[in-house]
Amino acid sequence: MTVLLLDPRWPTLIPMEAVGKLQGPVVFTDEVPVKVRWDFDQLLCGEDPAGHGVVVSTDPSHPQVRALIDAHAELILAPSLEEPMWQAREVMTRARRIGEWERDQTHETLLPYLEEESAEFAEAVREHASDAELLKELGDVFLQILFHAEIAARRGAFNLDDVAMSFVNKMRSRAPYLFDGSEDIVGVEEQERLWAEGKAREKKD
């Protein structure tokens, strides 16, 4: 039996590793969208003589998927699922879902932790801490960003993608030279002028 685990963000992106390896019959877990199921048979290279085939899912916690992985079924994983940012988000989402302490937190109750972790990073910088220590402290700050974004996502306000895009949009407004394809060094005076203009424009909007 083979398990094909797809990225729920981009379920139609079938990993190249699966090409020529998948055999029927095919079983889809319930959450797999119809657009993946359409013409999926075209990816198959025949039928499994043993009748095992492939289970296609976007949910690594699905009982059938977990049972097969625990039984050492062949696992073909969408490469994007191994991307660190995605893994961090999934860990935070799961923590908020099943951790009693995490479920009880709000933006307000987390503020002391954000202040503490930010102060510890600043202290590490001032004390010329090692790169390993800086990495650790930045990870602690990043945890707070993940946590606040997850809280907002649960109430339907915004998510981590929106936070990232807010940064991109701000830079488009205040540092347009980053998006025009040029490679010339932009002087500090020009940077400050563009930043001020962008900031003033944002206030008007």
Structure confidence by residue, pLDDT tens digits, 48-93: 998 899 999 999 999 999 999 999 999 999 999 999 999 999 999 9
How high does pLDDT run on average in the chain?
Answer: 96
Tell me the mean pLDDT in the region 23-32: 96
Could you give the number of structural domains in the chain? 2
Domain co-membership, 69 together with 91: no
pLDDT of 190 > 90? The answer is yes
**188 found inside a domain:** no
The model's pLDDT over 91-104, given as tens digits with 9 standing for 90+, comes to 999 999 999 999 99
Specify the higher pLDDT residue, 132 or 50.
132
Residue 159, pLDDT score: 97
**168 found inside a domain:** yes
**49 found inside a domain:** yes
Domain co-membership, 36 together with 99: no
- Out of 79, 108, 123, pick the residue that ends a domain: 79
Q: What is the DSSP letter of 24?
A: B
Tell me the mean pLDDT in the region 148-161: 97
Residue 205, pLDDT score: 81
Residue 79, pLDDT score: 96
**189 found inside a domain:** no
To 5 degrees, how large is the angle CA 5–CA 10–CA 15? Answer: 50
pLDDT of 105 > 90? The answer is yes
Q: Containing domain of residue 155, as a range?
A: 82-173
Tell me, what CATH number does 101's domain have?
1.10.287.1080
Which of 11-17's residues contact partners 24+ apart within 8 Å by CB, and which partners? 11/35, 11/36, 11/58, 12/36, 13/78, 13/80, 14/43, 14/78, 15/76, 15/77, 15/78, 15/79, 17/76
Domain co-membership, 104 together with 164: yes
- Out of 79, 113, 147, pick the residue that ends a domain: 79
Task: Please give the share of the chain, as a percent, with pLDDT higher than 90.
Answer: 96
**203 found inside a domain:** no
